[in-house]
Structure 1
Amino acid sequence: MKIKLLTAVLFLAIFGVLNAQNYKFGKVSKDELLQKEHPTDPTADAAILYRETKSEFQYSQDSGWTLVTDYFERIKIYTKEGFEYANATVDLFKDTSSEDKLRGLKGYTYYLSEDGKVRDVKLQNDGVFEEKTTKYLTQTKITMPDVREGCIIEYKYSISSPFILSIDEFRLQETIPVDKVSVLFKSPEYFIFKNHQRGWIPFKIDTETRERVMVFNQTSQDLSGFGAIGIPKTSSREVRFKENSYIIELNSVPALKEEAFSGNLSNYTTALQFELSYINMPGSSKSYATTWEDVSNTIYNRSEFGSELQRNNYFEKDIDALLSGVTMPEEKIEKIYYYVLNKMNWNGYNGFYTNEGVKNAYKKGSGNVGDINLMLVAMLRYANLDANPVLISTKSHGIPLFPTINGFNYVIASVVLPKGTILLDATQKDAEIGVLKSSVINGDGRLIKKDGFSTWVSLRSHIPAVRSTMLNATLQPDLSVRGRTQNRFTGNFAFQYRSKFKILNTESQIKELEKKLKQTELSNHSFENLDKLGQPVSLEYDFESTHGIENVAGKLYISPMLYLATQENPFKAEKREYPIDFGFPLRDRYIVNIALPEGYKVESIPENVAFSWGENLGSYRYLISQTGNNLQLSVEFAINESLIGANDYDGLKKFFELLIAKENEKIVLSKA
C-alpha cells in the first residue's frame, strides 16, 4: 500500500509540474525554478524542459524557396556539472552565392532572488560570438549569462536557409532528460520527402494537410494613355496549393546514458530526418534522389577537391630529393608521410575541401584537414603509388542516414599495397602509419579513385594494439611489495601514450600514471620513443605497493597480479541499447614474477584457466606456476573486434565478470 501511495504522489508531482508549465518564451514559473532535482532522473545535471522546432518553406520572387526554422529551448540547470548545457552552437553554412541567415536571437537566464522573486538576466552581445571554421561554415557560439545551480536558461532564434536539399535532423533525445519536445515540419505539396528515423524510442508522426495561399505582385508599365508615358501598374495574383504538416509530440524522453565504451552517443539518440526525393512543380519536375556514388562524384568534381589532387608543381623538387634512390613502395610511403607530418601543422579545422588550397597551405606550413591530407594523396600519387582520398564522417559528426554531401566532414589518405590498404592521417603528430585517432573511426569511409569511381572501405584496424607488461616483484617483511615494471605499447596504445605524456613534465607524468593504481607509489620512471614514431613506446618504473596483500591468522593472502588486476566491471547496466565501441582491437600481455619471502610455503595457488567469448570476439588465459620460492604468472587478454553489437552485451558482461573474479583470486602462503 505504501508503494502504491508513493507512486501516486510521484505521478501527481510530475503531472502537476507539467501542467504548471507555460511553454511560451519568457513564461518561466517559480515551480520550475524551485525544482531541486529531476523528478524521474534525480542524477541528471540538467534537463530540457521544452524543445520546440518549427520549419516551413517560404517563397520569394527574388530568391525562390527558402527553409525557415524557428528554434526554442528551455533548460533547467541542477548542478555545476550541468553548466555546459548553458552553451549552444549554431551552424551557418554558405557557398559562393548563398548563405544561411540567423535572425531574432534572444535569450534569458532565470533564477530566484533571496526574496523569492523570479529574476532574469538578458543575453547580451558579449555572450554571442562567431567563429569561422571553414570557408563554408561559420559557427555562432552562445554563452548564457549568470548561470548558477537551479537556474533556467532559454533561448530562441530563426534560421533562414536557401539550402533546401539539406535539412537538419530533428533531435528528440539527448544525454539529459527531455520533458517535452515538439516538432512541426511544413512542406508544400510540390516537395516529396522520405523520412528516416533513428533510435529505439518509438514515436508517431501525425500528418495534416491544409490549403495555403501565396500572393505574387507584378509591376508593369501602362502604355494605353495619351502619349504612352508608361505609368507603373501593380497587379497581384494568388496561388493556392496544399501544404503538408508533419507533427511530433513526445513527453518524458529518458536520457541516453553514457556507458563504458560508448563511442559517439549521437549515433544512437532518437531522431528524425527528412530527405527530399523530388520536386513536382506545375509544368516541371526534378528528382533529387541520389546515391553515395553521386555524392562522391559531386565532391570529386569540385575544384577544391579533385583539381587540388592534380597539383604537384609546388612540391616536385622536394619530393624528388626526398625519394632519391628509394624504390620500395613501403619506404616511399614512410618518407612521404613523415615528411608531410613534420612540415604541416593542422589548424584545428575539419573539412574534406581545401581551405587555403594545397599550394598555399604548403607554402604556409599549415592548413585544414582537406589541405593536408589531399596534399598527402597528391604526393603519394606523384610517387607512382595507388593512393586515393577517403571521405569520413567523424564520430562527433554522426553517421548519415541517407546519401548526402553533408554526410561527410573529414578526409584521409589511403594507399593500396599487395598486403592490403593502409590508411593515413597527416594531421595527427603522434600517429604512426596505419593508426587513426579514435574520433575519426566511425563506420566506413568512402574511397574515391581517379576516375571518380567510389566504394566503401572499413576504417577499423584489424591489427590489435598491444600492451605488454613484465613485472618483477619481491614480497617484503612489512607485507609491502617492491619491484620494477617494464611496459611496451604499440599501435593505438602507443598513440595514446604519446598524446597524453609527451607534453607533461616528470612530476605530472608520475601523477598521471599513479591515478589508476591503488596503494601503489612509483619512482625512477622513464619513457622511450615518445618523440620517435615508428617505434613502440616503452615505459619503466620502480614501484612499492601494499595493494592485494593481507595477513589473516598468520597466513598471507596475495593477489598475484598485484595492482595490475582489474577491480571493477566497466559494464554495469542490465541491458545495453547500443554497440560497445572499443575503438580498436586490443591485446594485453602480462608476465609477473614474484619472489616469496623466506620462511613461507605455498599452501594454494589459483587454478589455470582459459576461456573465450562469442565467435572469437574475446579470449582470456591465466597460467600460474611455482618454481621453488618463485611464482610466475602469465596472463593474456584479447578483444578481437573493435565494435561489438548490443546483442553480444550479455556475453561481454559475463566475460568481464569471469576475468575480474580470476584476477582477484589469491595465493595463500603459510609459515614453513
Structure 2
Amino acid sequence: MKTFITRIIILTLATLSVITSQAADIDIPTIPDSLANGANSVVLSDYTTVNVISLSEATISHYRSVLVFNKKGEKHANFGATIDKYTSIKKLTGTLYDSNGNAIRQIGKKDLTTTELSPYLASDEASCTHSFDHPTYPYTVIYEWETSISGYLITFPSFVPIHYDSQSLLENEYKIHLPTSMKLNYKVRNTVPVISNEEASGWNTYTFRIPKTPAIKDDSYLPNTNEIVPLIHLNPGVFEVSGIRGYSDSWKNIGIWLTKLMEGRDQLLPEDVNSLKALTAQYPTPREKAKAVYELLRNTTRYVNISLGIGGLRPEKASDVKARGFGDCKALSNYMCAMLKALDIPCDYAVISTEHKNVLHDFASLGQFNHAIMRVTLPGDTIWLECTDPTLPFGYIHDGIAGHEALIVDGENSHIVRLPMPKHEIQKREYKYYVEFTTDGCGYSHIEENYSENYFEKNRTLKEITRQETQDNIREKTGLSTALVVDFKYVENLSNQNVCSYIYTIFAPKFCKQSEKRMYIPSNLFKTDISKYTDYQRILPIVITDKHEVYDITIRIPSGYKLESLPSNVEVSSPIGQFTQTATVTDDLIHITQTIKIPSGEYDASLSPQLAELTQAIYDNMNALIVLVK
C-alpha cells in the first residue's frame, strides 16, 4: 500500500507556531478500544490553520501529535513536507515523549533531512523529512511547524490526518480563513465531516472536523491510501499567477489556463525547422516521421529536473531546449510537440499523475498531476510518448502512466482522457528451463526468462548490471546460494511486442536435497511475488495489479533413480483469476507447466475466500517437491 498518499497531500502539511519554551510533560489520553484495536498508531490530534492573504499568498500552521504503539507504527509518526521556490518552512519544532508523557528529545528546523523528489516530477520540489527512531514503545511524537506560500497559490493544502493503514484518528480540525471575495472549492472523500462557515469583517472562516476514525486493517491487496482514508481536497475557485488568471470550476478551464501559460513556447528557429524537414524527408508516413523525431530527441537531449517558469508548470521555450540539449518533463514534451507541429503532424501536450490512475472529475485541480507527456494523433493511430526516458521504445506506455487519466492541454478543447493499458494476454513473464542432475545432487540448468510489456520494463534494466550482480540476482531468484552462472546473454525484441530475454546456464553443487535413498527436487526453482492470502472477513475491495506468469519446466531423472512422487494436475478458477498445473512423465523426462493469470482490477471484498483459495493453490504447488527414489 502506498504510504504518505500523494505529493499534494504531503504539501498539505503546513503549520503552527513553534514551541518557544522548554518542552513540558504532556498527558497521554486513554485510547478507546474502538481506536486501539488493530492500530499500530493513533493520531491524537491534527490541527491545521490556513490563512489566505491574497490570490497568491498564504501562511499555514500545523500541529500534529501521534502515539506509536509498536515497531510497525514507527514511520506513522515521521515528519514529511514538500518545499519548492514558492513554499518554505519558516519554523519547526518536534518533540519526543516517552510512555509517561515525559519529553526526552527535541529537534528544530535545522534537523530536517532535505532531498530532491523523483526526477519524473514536474518542478524543483524537495522533500523535508525527520524521524526520531525511538526503540521503546509506546511513545508520542509532536511536531509543530509553519509554512509560507508566496507567488503561487493554485491549490490549498488538503486535509489528510490519517496517513497509513493501521492508524486511527482521535481529534482533528482544519480551518481556512479567506477573503469573502474568494470562492472555496472542496471535495470530501471517505468520510462525513462536520463543516461550518462563519463570515465576519470581509473574511470567511471554514472549519472541517472529521469524526473519530478506527484504523484500517493492515491487509494485502488494499486500494490506494487516498481511496480509503478520510480526505478533504480544497482549492480556490479563481487563481492568478504572474498576471495569468485561471478558474478551477472545470477541467476545461484548467486546460485553457495551461494553454495560455504555454503560449508562444512551441516555436523553433527557421533553420531548425528546415533541418527537421530534411531529416524526415526520407520517411513516407507521419508515423515514421514521428518515430525519427523521437529518436532525434533521445539522441540529442537529456532529462534534467529544473525549475523555470511558473511553479513547475510552464515549460521552457522549445528553441531554448534545442540550444541547451536538456530539459525537464514539461520542456522535453513541449519540445517534441514543437518539432512534430513543424512537420504538420498533429499532437498534444498533456499532464498526468505517475501516482494515481484516476483524476477527480468533479474537482478540477492541478495538484492532481506531477508529470508531463505528449500524444500524437494520427488517423486510426494514437501514440503516447514519454520524453524523459531515452531507453523506452517509441510509443511504449510505461507502468507509471499506463491506464492513468491525463489532461489534454488544448485550449477550448482541453479534456480528460485515459491512456490505454496493455492487454493482459501480452503482459507476461515466462520461464523455460531444463535441469539435469548427477547422483550426488549436483545439477546444471539451461534457463530462458522472457519478459513482455510491463514485465519488460521492470526487467530490462538488469542488462546494465555487473556480472557479479547478475549472479547474485539469479541466486536470489532461484534460492541456489552457490549457483555459478555461465553463458549469460541478453536479447531484446521490439518488433511486435516489447520483449526482453535472459538466456543463461547455471551450475549448482547442491541443486536439490538428498537423503540416503531419496532426492527431493523443487517443482519450480522460481518464486512468484503473489502473496498468500488468508483473510476471509475482508471489508475493503480487493485491488490487484496484473499477474501473468508461465513456467515451462523439464527435469531429467538421473540414472539409478525412479519417480516416487509427482505434483498432481491442478486447475483453480475464480472471478479473480486462475492457476493451472500439469505434470507428466515421458521415459526419464518430467515435464511441468504452471500458469498464473490474474488480470488487474478491483474486486468485491466478498470474493476474499476465492482469493484465499487461489493464492493457497499457487503457494502449495509452486513450493511442492518431486521425490525420486533409488
Q: Cα gap change, 1:473/1:438 in structure 2, threshold over 3 Å: closer, same or farther?
A: same
Deviations along 1:42-75, one digit per CA (max 9) or x if unpaired, are 984x7644321123555xxxx6796543212235
Aligned CA distance change for structure 1 residues 418 and 153 (closer, same or farther; 3 Å)? same
**Does structure 2 retain, via aligned residues, the 8 Å contact 1:174–1:256?**
no
**For residues 476-512 of structure 1, what are the alpha-carbon distances to aligned partners after superposition, in whole Å with 9 as ceiling and x for unaligned?**
312344212112223222222233x244321122223
Contact 1:522–1:541 (CA<8 Å) still a contact in 2? no
Structure number with greater Rg is 1
Aligned to 1:54: 49
Q: Deviations over 1:12-58 (max 9, x none)?
A: xxxxxxxxxxx98875537769x9xxx947984x7644321123555
CA distance in 1, matches of 2:530, 2:154: 48
Answering whether residue 63 of structure 2 is matched by residue 72 of structure 1, we say yes
Which amino acid in 1 is paired with 2:174?
L
Is 1:326 equivalent to 2:286 in the alignment? no
Structure-1-length-normalised TM-score: 0.73
Match of 1:466 in 2: 428
2:485 pairs with 512, 517, 523, which one? 523
Amino acid aligned to 2:62 = Y
Match of 1:378 in 2: 338
Q: Secondary structure at the match of 1:290?
A: coil
Report if the CA contact (8 A) 1:259-1:571 is conserved. Answer: yes
1:394 aligns with 2:354: yes
State the match for 2:259 in structure 1: 300
Question: What aligned pairs does 1:409-448 form with structure 2 within 5 A after superposition?
Answer: 409-417=370-378, 420-441=381-402, 443-448=404-409
Q: 1:620 to 1:389 in 2, by over 3 A?
A: farther
Match of 1:123 in 2: 108
Residue 626 in structure 1 maps to residue 585 in structure 2:
yes
Q: Where do residues 402-413 of structure 1 align in structure 2 (5 Å cutoff)?
A: 402-413=363-374
Q: Percent identity?
A: 14
* Match for residue 175 of structure 2 among 185, 199, 209: 185
Deviation at 1:340, TM superposition (A): 1.3
- The amino acid of 1:577's aligned partner reads L
Could you say what secondary structure the match of 1:416 adopts?
A: strand
- Matches of 2:498 and 2:355, distance apart in 1: 28
Alignment of 1:262-661 (within 5 A): 264-274=224-234, 290-303=249-262, 306-311=263-268, 313=270, 315-348=272-305, 353-395=313-355, 399-400=359-360, 402-417=363-378, 420-441=381-402, 443-449=404-410, 452-462=413-423, 464-499=426-461, 501-520=462-481, 521-524=483-486, 526-529=488-491, 536-544=499-507, 554=517, 556-561=519-524, 563-566=525-528, 569-574=531-536, 575=538, 577=540, 580-582=543-545, 585=546, 587-603=548-564, 605-614=566-575, 618-640=577-599, 642-647=600-605, 650=608, 651-661=610-620
Deviation string 1:511-539 (CA, Å, 9 cap, x unpaired) is 23322332452411524247999963221
Aligned 8 A contact 1:352 1:369 in 2: no
Alignment partner of 2:581: what SS? strand
> 1:17: which partner in 2?
none
**Equivalence map 1:130-149=2 (5 Å):** 139=125, 141-144=127-130, 148-149=134-135
Of residues 55, 79, 90, the one that matches 2:82 is 90
Name the residue aligned to 1:224: none
Q: 1:340–1:376: 8 Å Cα contact kept in structure 2?
A: yes
Cα distance in 1 for partners of 2:260, 2:246 equals 20
Q: Which residue of 1 aligns with 2:93?
A: 107
What is the rounded CA distance, in whole Å, between the counterparts of 2:112 and 2:409 in structure 1? 42
Q: How far is the alpha carbon of 1:645 from its aligned partner?
A: 3.7
Matched, 1:155 2:144: yes
Structure 1 pair 415–263 and aligned structure 2 pair: CA distance change class (3 A): farther
Cα deviations by residue, 1:251-296 (Å, 9 ceiling, x for unpaired): 4652674745x685345432112355699xxxxxx99662222222
Equivalent AA in structure 2 for residue 168 of structure 1: P
Change (3 A) 1:29 1:540: farther
Q: TM-score, normalised by structure 2?
A: 0.77
SS at match of 1:438: coil
Q: Which moved more, 1:565-574 or 1:428-437?
A: 565-574
1:29 to 22, 25, 43: 25
Say whether the 8 Å CA contact 2:80–2:129 is kept in structure 1.
yes
Q: Map Cα deviations across residues 560-606 of structure 1 (whole Å, 9 max, x no partner).
A: 32x12548635455426355252xx5532322111112233335544
> Is the 2:122–2:312 Cα contact (8 Å) retained in structure 1?
no
Alpha-carbon deviation of 1:553?
8.7
Structure 1 unaligned regions, length at least 5: 1-22, 95-99, 215-240, 280-285
| SS of equivalent residue, structure 2 residue 193 | coil
Unaligned runs of 5+ in 2: 1-17, 240-244
Worse overlay, 364-373 or 46-55: 46-55
1:516 partner SS: helix
Coordinate RMSD, CA, aligned: 4.6
SS class of match (1:307): coil
Q: Residues of 2 paired with 1:363 and 1:418: CA distance?
A: 32
Distance in 2 (CA, whole Å) between partners of 1:450 and 1:108 is 46
Q: Which has the higher contact order (CA 8 A, sep 6+)?
A: 2
Q: What SS does structure 2 have at the residue aligned with 1:309?
A: coil
